Amino acid sequence: MGNGKIVVFQQEYDSFQELASDYDIDYQSLLRVIRKGVSPEEAVSMLHGKKEEPPAQNSFCVDGKEYPSLATACRRLGISPGSVYARRKGLMKEGLPEQEATARALEQAAAIGRRKREVAVAGMTFPSRNAAMAHFGISAATVNARIARARESGQELSFEDAVLLGRSKRYAAAEYSAAPADISSRQEELLVYLQGALQRECHFQCVKTQGHLSAIRRLEDDPGEIRLEITWASSHILSIRSRWMNGTLAQANDFNSKYVGIKLCLLADGSVTVVCDTFLMDASLSAKYAAAAAARQFVETYCLILAQLSASETGFGRNSL
């Protein structure tokens, strides 16, 4: 092994699990043999029984990239081996040798997989949703939250609309002045948990009302007073926010380009709100941990922004929540 890679028969692998998959051998069996001091090549030969015939001899090339085995090709291309086997069976019935039929079936399945993954947004075609979101500078969490929020209100929002939502008003965001009427007891429990976490871990003074949590902190080392308002924006969206006054779009843009996980929104009244919307599937213990982590991250980023504002000649003005 070198540079963290496992080299077996001149083929590099990122992990023993990948090696076991390529040779179709049991992963745990491979580890047991290697732990006895046997080299990876010897272990593969012992378990696979084909020391002279490594899978590299049965490699496949798709779009100019070579894969050491069919299993590796399917995994890395995101296609089902079953679909390749089905196509290969049909091609072999047409008289093609097994290796050639497998290679052609793999190419066909890969081409279909690429077409299925392609998405069109704003008249442009992208190879995947991730590529589209990267192009428009939006996170998967934001897209999923927008779709979930629309579904909560009885609407269906397409992936394209979720990506493009708000482009004409890039930082317009919903204001959550009150909690939805149907907050569940589990959601209330999550707010209670979050109240305790903020008080214990972040030294906030908190006030909780029905469906709403207010938190305030002003420590000696803080660059300014920190005020948070936390509400359930929907049954799955927990919203953490804070507001300055008299902000500018240029300032909001500048901070949005620097920080991930929060969004600075210029509202119609000229104020700037800092928002973190966290998508939670339920109000379980893991969701409570996720909510607390989001709140801690929000406070850390908030402090960085406040410090930069304090060091600059211009700022958003005093926090007004």
Domain spans in the chain, listed from the N-terminal domain onward: 1-58, 172-311
Lowest mean pLDDT among 55-59, 61-65, 145-149: 55-59
pLDDT at 73: 76
What pLDDT does residue 173 have? Answer: 40
**pTM of the predicted model, to two decimals?**
0.45
More confident residue, 144 or 205: 205
DSSP state of 234: S
What integer is the mean pLDDT of 92-99?
85
pLDDT at res. 151: 84
Query: Which distant-in-sequence residues (6+ apart) come within 8 Å of 224 by Cβ?
Result: 218, 306, 309, 310, 319
Residue 295 has pLDDT above 60, yes or no: yes
DSSP conformation letters of 98-141? HHHHHHHHHHHHHHHHHHHH-EEETTEEESSHHHHHHHTT--HH
For residues 244 and 122, which has the higher predicted lDDT (pLDDT)?
A: 122
Q: 219: pLDDT confidence band, cut at 50, 70 and 90?
A: confident
pLDDT mean over 226-240: 84
Confidence tier at 110 by pLDDT (50, 70, 90): confident
List, in sequence order, every beta strand (DSSP E) within the chain. 6-8, 11-13, 60-62, 65-67, 119-121, 124-126, 205-209, 212-217, 226-232, 237-244, 263-266, 272-279
**Per-residue model confidence (pLDDT) at position 172:** 38
CA–CA gap between residue 306 and residue 225 (Å, rounded): 9
Asked if pLDDT for residue 244 goes beyond 70, the answer is: no
Share of the chain above pLDDT 70, in %: 79
Distance CA(105)–CA(87), nearest Å, equals: 5
Name which CATH class applies to 172-311.
Answer: alpha beta
Average pLDDT over residues 154-175: 65
How many other β-carbons are positioned within 10 Å of the β-carbon of residue 7? 14
Q: Is the CB of residue 213 less than 8 Å from the CB of residue 196?
A: no
